Structure 1
């Protein structure tokens, strides 16, 4: 049933409590990316590694974060949501400590991979919990509220990272990240109830998971929705991997100013994403995606054309990215809800495959863009524009037909709870 509301129409504390806990858990993994972005140049100097090698640490994290979800999703369907969370967060903490003590770039990359394996649990399972609890616009609302809490990471983490670097050096960042993992364990143990009861696990098995993956990989509608979000996220991943080098080395910003420049994109993304439920109830969820992804693609192509013509100005980049990321804030949560809508019986498995495809896509795109990096902003912007156009193409093809299973319109009712 729809989320309980107060007389004033605001979600009751239980609904907000789910959003806060799931949002903080979801933020653990991105926190390990966003907080150390200002440190990338310093890490390269300290460990005597060039920028491309340092970026491999991001790519290794993304690859682990993607492919590890294939394990956590089915396991969470079989044993419940909480035990895999405990395991994953513990592995994440171990990886964080290894990064803090890494003597060279190879060791750092290896422990970043371990970090990613642990962070998978906090990526796939919260989305499955959202699907366990709600459907339709209520799921979109919870997903958006989750992302509101999740936004603490890209808004505050780079600034926190720059402050930590200034006080204690880049290694201290990973000690702080390990502490965040401990906080995640406490939240999971004390504040999150199991949403996958034993009665729903009886038909879940490893063999069933492989069959489910096979079925999902044949579902063009599911894959189309997944890749709408995947290439939208990949554009942001390109920004993650390259922005510190471009803004700090190319434009001469300090780590603190870089943190502010990075954070305003997150403010735009998360601010606009809070309108998904309202717009979904009025126009239908799928009706949001196509115009939003169109605006995103047009703005990114415009930005690329301007820079290709020689208008290499930080102000132009900041303004157009701010607006474009606002449009992207409508695309990603809505496409995720639509992709999981028809797969409640195997929400963990579907969420895991979605995460794997998205992060694998992001890793491949980062590697591809890295081949063209020359210290300027153009390769980064070109990669982001290509991702935006690809996301637009998937949206145009996937959503041109009539809705399936009632997922298109906000009038979909959640199952009784």
Structure 2
């Protein structure tokens, strides 16, 4: 079975988006879930955090399994588990049950998070991989751009439980696409030397690779700034600034569109300037913008338009950081791409869950804790980039001479 460059990116992007769809459609519902189930803000956020933790932890298993069994079988399993968890969430009678079922739902969703990155590495390296990754993210963008708006409409008309029935339908669509439109990119001969023992050895190699870890954590803290926004923005924008769920969805979609739209320049810019230079430039712009946002907030200016405008600019820079660091991290580990992608996803989502927990613990009803979490994550990403890419830049320059 043959698929086009864009066709493969389309299928992979849609499979990757199913899990985030269950996050982004869910965000406008957080305040109403608390009211419906008689739960506190912290308890409702725990249901979101449980999903993120399982997304991270589960990837460490799916990656090696996809190296051993091929890419498609674990994807089938994950989508079925996600669908079952979604049905359970739609029927949850209390917040405790919802938290448990969100964890199970996340264990299914993480298959679609880790395996598509490994498929990209199976097919491409270097600039082609960056182009494919950015195309994947373009399709993936349907979730943060459209899902909150779709979720707000469903919530207004049918209530928050309708969100979970909708993502169940999305999982069933994913199963159809997987069966009909995605070829197996890990042939049997490439699986011969893959086992749980080799996976453990591969994890050992990766955990000793400082360059790999540096790149992973640059992306991790970049993504964590977005996670801090995910966990807190509905409470800040709806409860503090008084936006309706639909207005919130539009504001959220604008920032997501900036992130995704700018990421589409990754392939062209990396081909012209190199991946390392692109990351260095983008992470500086990202950190400066988010630090300025924190300074503005600390000065007492809490205007919503100013905050949203600066987030729009900052997340645009982040759209160049995330795909390029992922490509650089996986480039040298093609033989264990599934395992490397799994460790990357696990570390990034666990980091994001920690940042979410910290910002949630500091929540006081204003935007300040959220903005502090975003700016702090951006500064850490910049520091890691300075350390990790210092020697990489010199090596790249020597290769050109």
Tell me the TM-score range normalised by the shorter chain.
over 0.9
8 Å CA contact 2:3, 2:182 repeated in 1: no
Taking the aligned partners of 2:161 and 2:392, their CA distance within structure 1 comes to 52
In the alignment, which of 372, 377, 381 is matched to residue 362 of structure 2?
A: 372
SS in 1 for 2:390: coil
Unpaired runs of 5+ in structure 1?
Answer: 1-11, 412-417
RMSD: 1.5
Cα-to-partner distance string for 1:306-336 (whole Å, 9 max, x where unaligned) = 1111001101101100000000000000000
| 4+ residue segments displaced more than 3 Å | 402-409
Where 1:293 maps in the other structure, the secondary structure is: helix
Deviations 1:218-241 (A, max 9, x none): 100000000000000000000000
Which residue does 1:83 correspond to in 2? 73
Aligned equivalent of 2:170, options 180, 194, 205? 180
* Structure 1 partner of 2:219: 229
Which residue number in structure 2 is paired with residue 137 of structure 1? 127
CA distance in 2, matches of 1:283, 1:234: 26
What's the CA shift for 1:403?
5.1
Paired residues of 2:16 and 2:116 also in contact (CA < 8 A): yes
In the superposition, the TM-score normalised over structure 2's length comes to: 0.98
Kept in 2, the 8 Å contact 1:284–1:408? The answer is no
Q: How do residues 248-397 of structure 1 correspond to structure 2 at under 5 angstroms?
A: 248-397=238-387
1:113-262 equivalences in 2 (<5 Å): 113-262=103-252
Name the residue aligned to 2:92: 102
Distance 1:224 1:198 in 2: 32
In structure 1, distance between residues paired with 2:346 and 2:395: 24
Alpha-carbon shift at residue 283 of structure 1 (Å):
0.7
* In structure 1, C-alpha distance between the alignment counterparts of 2:349 and 2:362, rounded to whole Å: 21
* Separation of aligned partners in 1, 2:362 and 2:248: 22
Call closer, same or farther: CA 1:71–1:30 in 2, change over 3 Å: same
CA positional deviation for 1:368: 1.0
In 2, Cα distance between equivalents of 1:76 and 1:407: 36
- Would you say 1:44 and 2:34 are equivalent positions? yes
Residue 58 of structure 1 pairs with residue 45 of structure 2: no
CA distances 1:99-118 after superposition (whole Å, capped 9, x unpaired): 00000000000000001100
Aligned length: 399
Q: For 1:65-108, what per-residue CA distance to the aligned partner results, in whole angstroms no more than 9, with x for missing partners?
A: 00100110000000100000000000000110010000000000
TM (normalized to structure 1)? Answer: 0.94
CA deviation profile, 1:17-54 (whole Å, cap 9, x unmatched): 01100000000010000001000000000000111110
**Helix, strand or coil for the counterpart of 1:266?**
helix
SS at match of 2:391: coil
In 2: Cα distance, 1:69 partner to 1:98 partner = 22
The answer (yes or no) to whether the contact 1:136–1:407 under 8 Å persists in 2 is: no
After superposition, the C-alpha distances for 1:311-363 in whole angstroms (9 at most, x for unaligned) are 01101101100000000000000000000000000000000000000000000
On the 8 A contact 1:285/1:407 being kept in 2, the answer is: no
The unaligned stretches of length 5 or more in structure 2 are: none
CA distance in structure 1 between the aligned counterparts of 2:302 and 2:162, rounded to whole angstroms: 35
**Secondary structure, aligned partner of 1:401:** helix
Relative to structure 1, the CA distance from residue 13 to residue 349 in structure 2 (aligned partners, 3 Å threshold; closer, same or farther) is closer
Q: Secondary structure at the match of 1:141?
A: helix
